Chain A
Amino acid sequence: MTALRAPLSRIVANPWAQAGLALLLLLGCYGLSSGTVQILSFVLIGIIFAQSINLLTGLAGQISLGHAGFFGIGAYGAGILAKTHGLDVALGVPCAMLLAAAAGWLLSFPAGRVKDVYLAMMTLGFGMIFFEVVREWSGLTGGTMGLPGVPSPTLRTLRILGVKLDGTAYFQLLLAITALVLLLMRNLTQSRIGRAFFAIHTGEVGAGSIGIPPGSTKRLAYALSGALAGLAGGLYAHLVGYLGPESFGLTRSIEVLVMAIVGGLGSIAGQVLSVTLFTFLPERLQVFAEYQFIVYGLILTFSLVVLPRGIGGLLLEPARFIRPRALRAAAALPAALPPAEGGGVLEVTGVTMRFGGLVALNDVSLTLAPGRITALIGPNGSGKSTLVNVISGLYRPSAGRVVFAGHDITGLADHQVAAARVVRTFQDPRLVPHFTVRENLLLGAHRLQRHSALAALLGLPAAIEDEARHLATIEAVMALTNLTEVADRVMATLPYGTRRMAEVGRALLAHPLAVLLDEPAAGLSEAEMERLAQVIRDMKAMGLAILLIEHHMDFLDDLVDDVVVLDSGRVIYRGDIAGMRCDREVIAAYLGTEETVDA
Chain B
Amino acid sequence: MDDFFFSLVLAGISVGAVYALVALGLNLTFWTTRALNFGQGSLMMLCAMLTVHLAAQGLALLLAVLGALFIIGGLGIFIERFAVRPALKGAGSMGWVVSTLGFGIFLQGVAAKWFGAQAVAFPDILFSAQDYVSVFGQYVSLQYLVVLLVAVALILLLELFVRKTVWGQAVHAVSLDPELAGVQGIPVRRIILGSFIASSLLAGVAGLLIAQIGGTVDPAFGFDLVLLGFVAAVFGGMGSSVGALVGGLVVGLTSKLVGGYISTAAEHAIAFALLMAMLALRPQGLFGRIEVSKA
**B-binding residues in A (CB < 8 A):** 57, 61, 63, 65, 109-110, 113-114, 116-118, 120-122, 124-126, 128-129, 132-133, 136, 205, 250, 254, 257-258, 261-262, 265, 290-305, 308-309, 385, 389, 394-395, 426
Contacts and interface: CB of A to CB of B under 8 A. Distances in A.
Given A118-B238, A305-B86, 14 more contacts: A109-B280, A117-B238, A120-B94, A121-B234, A128-B272, A136-B269, A290-B112, A290-B117, A301-B82, A302-B82, A302-B102, A303-B99, A304-B87, A305-B82
Given A117-B34, A117-B36, A122-B279, A293 B293 contact: no
Interface stretch (B55-63, B103-111, B150-158): B103-111
Contacts of B238: 117-118
A201 to B, nearest CB: 8
Contacts of A65: 97
Given A300-B105, A302-B82, A129 B272 contact: yes
Contacts of A298: 102, 106
Given A128-B227, A394-B295, A301 B106 contact: yes
A591 B103 CA distance: 58
Given A205-B293, A258-B98, A308-B90, A117 B30 contact: yes
Nearest to A292: B109
A301 B265 CA distance: 35
A129 B279 contact: no
B177 to A, nearest CB: 16
Interface residues of B, number: 48
A309 B117 CA distance: 35
Contact of A122 (B103, B105, B276): B276
A295 B110 CA distance: 10
Interface string B210-238: 00000000010000000100110010001
Contacts of A258: 97-98, 101
A300 B279 contact: no
20 contacts: A110-B279, A118-B283, A125-B231, A125-B275, A129-B273, A129-B276, A132-B265, A205-B295, A258-B97, A258-B101, A261-B95, A293-B109, A293-B112, A296-B102, A297-B104, A297-B105, A298-B102, A300-B98, A300-B106, A301-B106
B93 interface: yes
A113 B290 CA distance: 12
B268 A132 contact: yes
Interface of B: 30, 34, 36, 82-83, 86-87, 89-90, 92-95, 97-99, 101-110, 112-113, 117, 219, 227, 230-231, 234, 238, 265-266, 268-269, 272-273, 275-276, 279-280, 283, 293, 295
Contacts of B83: 301
**Residue from B36, B266, B276 with most neighbouring chain A CB atoms (10 Å):** B276
Contacts of A61: 92
Contacts of B94: 57, 63, 116, 120, 261
B109 A294 contact: yes
B268 A124 contact: no
